Amino acid sequence: MAPAAVLPGREALTSRTIPSMIFSDGSSTSLTPAPAATVESDPEVGAKKRFSVRGNAIVTGGAGTLGLFACDALLEHGLEGLMIFDVNASEKQIAALQTKFPNAEIQFQKVDVTDEDTIQAAVAQTALLLGSVDTLLCFVGVVGCVESLEMPISQWRRILDINTTGSFICAQAVARQMVKQGNGGSITFVASISAHRVNYPQPQAAYNVSKSALLMLKSCLAAEWARYGIRTNTISPGYMDTILNEGDGIAGHRQIWAERNPSGRMGSPPELTGAVVMLASSAGTYINGADIVVDGGGIVV
């Protein structure tokens, strides 16, 4: 029998070394320079430039309702290339985007976000096809509503693996590509109001924990990666009126969600796109480590 592995003693802690974060100096030669403080003489040009989106984006979960609306909005604001990562996407959905935006390169890859080797290869392939990766928008996620006393541990692990670990895997792979490119970029995780408060009336502890973890993850990455010109932020949507929240079986829950919201309703998918565009656009160059709540005021009561 092989001898048991011997872990380092507590004494070894006194001789360890740990890395330290490095911040940008914000100079004109850094990757975080201040933009020119100018006012456009043509108001139409100024308005267009303010929310212009440059380069190419990867959108995970981009074939879902919220993802497709976000893709459409980014393309409207100048995105040149789009790669959708998802496990489900129809040729009809992709063709519709390609027809509306004939000058943009729009592609799809079927990937598992929890597989780091697959994601690393998919990001490299995206950079090869599109020329660069300048924006990452992570919509991918799963939810499970079950009493915590009855929750299978396999379900807990699956939800955190997809929602949290999968988001990190994608962010790490994209950030490595951005560092290689040397032009910075934008990473946005889609968190949730579930990251801020316990949902009612449905029990969904694993989902809530997975989304609250994204808030801390974006803060950590915002601090670590700013020197590379990479901005990392989150958007926290409230209950959105998508197919995931339809059906007679949850009609009672929908009523409760609406009644507990100051706006008296759920959100419509297009209402999320303003935050998506702002964070990815030239308007967001000094927004880093932020969380934008889009929930009709539900979080305040």
Q: Which residue has the tokens 């380069």?
A: 55
Residue 228 to residue 113: CA distance in whole angstroms: 24
Residue 10 to residue 176: CA distance in whole angstroms: 34
DSSP 134: -
49 is catalytic: no
Q: Which of 167, 186, 194, 207 is catalytic?
A: 207
Q: How many CB atoms lie within 10 A of CB 73?
A: 20
Q: Show Cβ contacts of residue 156 under 8 Å, excluding neighbours closer than 6 positions.
A: 206
Helix 166-181 and helix 116-130: axis angle, to 10°? Answer: 40
192 is catalytic: yes
Q: Which of 167, 211, 212, 236 is catalytic?
A: 211
Q: Which of 132, 167, 192, 281 is catalytic?
A: 192
Q: Which of 217, 236, 209, 212 is nearest to 289 (CA)?
A: 217
Residue 272 to residue 73: CA distance in whole angstroms: 10
Cis peptide before 201 (omega within 30 of 0): yes
Question: How long is the chain?
Answer: 301
The residues annotated with a catalytic role in the active site are 192, 207, 211
